[in-house]
Structure 1
Amino acid sequence: MDASRPAAQDARRAARALGEVRGAALAGERPKMAPRPVIRESWDRTVRGGVDPDHDFRADVLGLDEVERRRQTSRLRHVLPVLQEGLLSFADSAQHLVAVADAEGRLLWLEGSPAGLRKADGQGLGVGGDFREEVIGTNGIGTSLVARRPVEVVSAEHFARPLQSWVCTGAPITDPRDGRLLGAVDVSGPLESHHPATLALVGSVAKLAEARLRDLHLTSLERLRAVAAPVLARIGGRAAAVDTDGWTAAVTGMPYTNRLALPKPLSPGWRRLPGLGPCRIEPLPGGWLIRPGAERPADDDTARIVLDLAHWRRCTVTASGGSGSWTHELSPRHAELLYLLALHPTGRTAAALADDMFGDPARTVTVRAEMSRVRRYMGAFLEHRPYRFTEGAEVDLRLPDDPLDLLPHSLAPGVLRARGASSHGLPHERTRPSETWHG
């Protein structure tokens, strides 16, 4: 019997044979059949790390708030439709589960057949669980993250005993921009329903997910290029528009390079960048304007922000600096958030914004996720802890003539209070269409 192809054998015989191989190998004896190299290497790491084979999967499970925070900040959320389309139909028909974990091996999404979900729940194998190899030993998620390639772990090849009734096939997903590991996708199910083509399927779908991320990156660069084009056209000298990771969208007056090395964190002003020397740095929606060798102006260089809510069908924010300006059309939710921040120049905590938005100060996860999206295009114009416009920025808040036309779609308690106060002639922080304040 070939231990590397147990799916071709009777399930019980395969599990028994793999158990004998595992027992002998971990006891330091020579097994009758050698374990596959990827499994042997994983077992060696697991033994050296002192992993408990009876690990309790209900221990150290992430709370729902932390799971949601990780979901909202993970780039894997952009490829869930690709993973679902490629794997869920197979999983449902074969009583399997599809799991997606982040780069730390934390399970963030889990879907599949009802039978598989009931089995996983009974063993504590749920969302928020820790599947790192150094925690539970050899498994489809953790071992594929370490090996950086698709890995199939069959029955007793798992180190943790609760997993030995499963066949788990995992594949890593990397960020095509820089090769950084984003996480892994895994298909798991009973040994008797395992198909020998699962490994190829999971690996192919992981590659499709990476291709989707590559397309999204190119689309974001196209958007940045469209915003930067009129700004670059007005600039004399050298300049480049890059995204927040330094990938180049457009250049003028200088050789094109795919990516610039940017320090973290980066803020507007003057910085010395590798290979470019002193540079003037200004925010753009989704990136930065880099001006090598630009001279520091003698006059005031205060950033100006125009939050235009005068026409509820098209709310915009416009930011301007020394080299030009850009305008971004706001979604209804983002218009509400920026309006609430404009009402409170000293800032709002996540709990206060949650109360303003939903009447529930406990909904901080949702607020933080939305503010993270706002900060993608507002860049350094926003601070956090508490959330507020940057100190010294001039904020021009433009409101409709009729207070009842102020964000009429909004049901946010903070907006309703401001709208009601204005319509009844009560004092309001922003009653004139073009009043300006310094944050």
Structure 2
Amino acid sequence: MPPGVDPRARARELARVHDEAISSGRPHAAPRPIIGDSWRRLLGHGMDPDHGGTASVLGDDQVEQRRSRSRMSGLLPTLRTGLGEVADHDANIMVVTDADGRVLWREGSRRGGRGADRLGFVPGSCWSEDVVGTNAIGTALVVGAPMQVYSAEHFVRSHHPWTCSAAPVRDPREGSVLGAVDLSGPASSVHPTTLALIRAVARLAESELRARHRDELDRLRAVAAPLLAGPGEPAVVTDRHGWVAGVRGLAPLDTVMLPEQMGQRVWLPAFGDCAVDPVPGGWLIRTRPSDPPRPGTAELDLGDPHHARLRLTGDGGSWEHPLTPRHAEILYVLARRPEGRTAAELAVDLFGDPRRQVSVRAEMSRLRRHLAGVLDHRPYRFTGTVRVTTYTPSGGVPLPYSQAPGVRALRGGN
């Protein structure tokens, strides 16, 4: 909600836009692009704006199981410190979900809790976009960015009396989404600073995770030092997520993309054939002399909008790894543009600005450091020896969270 806008007048205008968009698809005024994209997704799936989708509410035991597995549980003190006082006033509530949009914790004012109960906004409920329509939690998880949804920007009409602001929280080790934090309340309580507050609290939680990870790497470096001391074959010690704690005989690097399943022998795109030994908190990886790895096929799997993956297969074996949203965007563009893209063209594809070439080169450097034999440069493209296949959602659009101009163009503007 922009400063200076009358909330009630804005709510009435949004209700008219919503009704026209649902009934005719031709509203007299366009909703915000991120809201319009969400409405089109839901209309394409045939969601009923009066009832939404369906999903069962988890029982208490199932909620406790998810809480115990979620890394969001360790962030609760930080989230409460940042949002607890706001949630206790003005009929607001603070909600924390997992990456699936399942509500794991709900705290706040008694009045806000009663209103949430009437909506079914309770622990164990699913608040993903495909279940309850456009909302801050579910749509933020789709687009991978903080957002506020006010009144009739919600797709389902029963949510129009509410406003909600949410931000995804990412694991800094691998970029995956751990869950979302949300502040919700009556539409009349909307405030222009709420989204900034939610964004700041989510970033604070991620900073806490980064600090913990630095401590873990420091402990692993103490283990790595004697293992890598003195002469020997090229080797690297990483944590279980591929972050490097020490190297010997190799160019310095920050991370190594690892497969989900590690054995005594693995093939890594960065090194080829490797021998692996477990160490406390990670892996000792020793490279074995071999020809540069040249995988025969690359499968870019975008079937799950939240978990894009790259699979490589060739004479050296098979390898699979999750992709960050930005790397998924880059690889999707390159898969659809086999002739290749210059740094300036990729800058337009990703940012709509050819001057952002430094950012493009930094991202491509990270990708090519790990994908030896897979990506060429000048121009950037998949190597000619790799057959590329892209899997997209059945009946949906690839990378629905992406606002990158190049991705939107390949999706036909969706």
* RMSD after superposition: 2.4
Q: Which residue of 2 aligns with 1:60?
A: 56
Query: Measured at CA, do residues 276 and 147 of structure 1 come closer, stay the same or move farther in structure 2, by a change above 3 Å?
Result: closer
Say whether the 8 Å CA contact 2:93–2:184 is kept in structure 1.
Answer: yes
> Aligned partners of 1:29 and 1:272: how far apart in 2?
51
Of 222, 243, 248, the match for 1:226: 222
| Structure 1 length-normalised TM | 0.61
One-letter amino acid of the structure 2 residue matched with residue 184 of structure 1: A
Q: Which residue of 1 aligns with 2:237?
A: 241
Structure-to-structure mapping, 1:259-298, within 5 angstroms: 259-267=255-263, 269-293=264-288
> Aligned partners of 1:274 and 1:36: how far apart in 2?
41
Say whether the 8 Å CA contact 1:57–1:125 is kept in structure 2.
Answer: no
> Aligned partners of 1:65 and 1:97: how far apart in 2?
23
Q: Which residue of 2 aligns with 1:209?
A: 205
Say whether the 8 Å CA contact 1:7–1:195 is kept in structure 2.
Answer: no
Of 180, 183, 194, the match for 1:184: 180
SS in 2 for 1:98: strand
One-letter amino acid of the structure 2 residue matched with residue 91 of structure 1: A
Q: Which residue of 2 aligns with 1:161?
A: 157
Query: Measured at CA, do residues 234 and 78 of structure 1 come closer, stay the same or move farther in structure 2, by a change above 3 Å?
Result: farther
Could you list the structure 1 runs, at least 4 aligned residues long, displaced by more than 6 angstroms after superposition: none
> Aligned partners of 2:197 and 2:279: how far apart in 1?
40
One-letter amino acid of the structure 1 residue matched with residue 163 of structure 2: V
Say whether the 8 Å CA contact 2:7–2:190 is kept in structure 1.
Answer: no
Say whether the 8 Å CA contact 1:169–1:198 is kept in structure 2.
Answer: yes
Question: Structure 2: which 5+ residue stretches go unaligned?
Answer: 290-414
Query: Measured at CA, do residues 15 and 250 of structure 1 come closer, stay the same or move farther in structure 2, by a change above 3 Å?
Result: same
SS in 1 for 2:122: coil
Say whether the 8 Å CA contact 1:171–1:184 is kept in structure 2.
Answer: yes
> Aligned partners of 1:247 and 1:5: how far apart in 2?
41
Say whether the 8 Å CA contact 2:52–2:132 is kept in structure 1.
Answer: no
Of 114, 130, 133, the match for 2:129: 133
Displacement of 1:96: 0.8
Of 58, 62, 73, the match for 1:77: 73
One-letter amino acid of the structure 1 residue matched with residue 265 of structure 2: W
SS in 1 for 2:204: helix
Say whether the 8 Å CA contact 1:239–1:253 is kept in structure 2.
Answer: yes
SS in 1 for 2:134: coil
Displacement of 1:49: 1.1
Displacement of 1:202: 0.9
> Aligned partners of 1:172 and 1:49: how far apart in 2?
24
Of 142, 145, 148, the match for 2:141: 145
Question: Structure 1: which 5+ residue stretches go unaligned?
Answer: 295-439
| Greater Rg by CA | 1
- Does residue 20 of structure 1 match 2:16? yes
Identity %: 47
One-letter amino acid of the structure 2 residue matched with residue 289 of structure 1: L
1:82-120 per-position Cα deviation (integer Å, ceiling 9, x unaligned): 222111111112321111122221112211112111221
Structure-to-structure mapping, 1:404-423, within 5 angstroms: none
> Aligned partners of 1:261 and 1:147: how far apart in 2?
24
Displacement of 1:10: 5.4
Q: Which residue of 1 aligns with 2:6?
A: 9
> Aligned partners of 1:10 and 1:237: how far apart in 2?
66
SS in 1 for 2:100: coil
- Paired residue total: 289
One-letter amino acid of the structure 2 residue matched with residue 276 of structure 1: F
1:306-352 per-position Cα deviation (integer Å, ceiling 9, x unaligned): xxxxxxxxxxxxxxxxxxxxxxxxxxxxxxxxxxxxxxxxxxxxxxx
Say whether the 8 Å CA contact 2:275–2:285 is kept in structure 1.
Answer: yes
Query: Measured at CA, do residues 157 and 277 of structure 1 come closer, stay the same or move farther in structure 2, by a change above 3 Å?
Result: closer
Query: Measured at CA, do residues 270 and 15 of structure 1 come closer, stay the same or move farther in structure 2, by a change above 3 Å?
Result: closer
Say whether the 8 Å CA contact 2:237–2:246 is kept in structure 1.
Answer: yes
- Does residue 47 of structure 1 match 2:43? yes
Displacement of 1:263: 2.0
Say whether the 8 Å CA contact 1:136–1:160 is kept in structure 2.
Answer: yes
> Aligned partners of 1:256 and 1:197: how far apart in 2?
42
| Structure 2 length-normalised TM | 0.64
Displacement of 1:241: 1.3
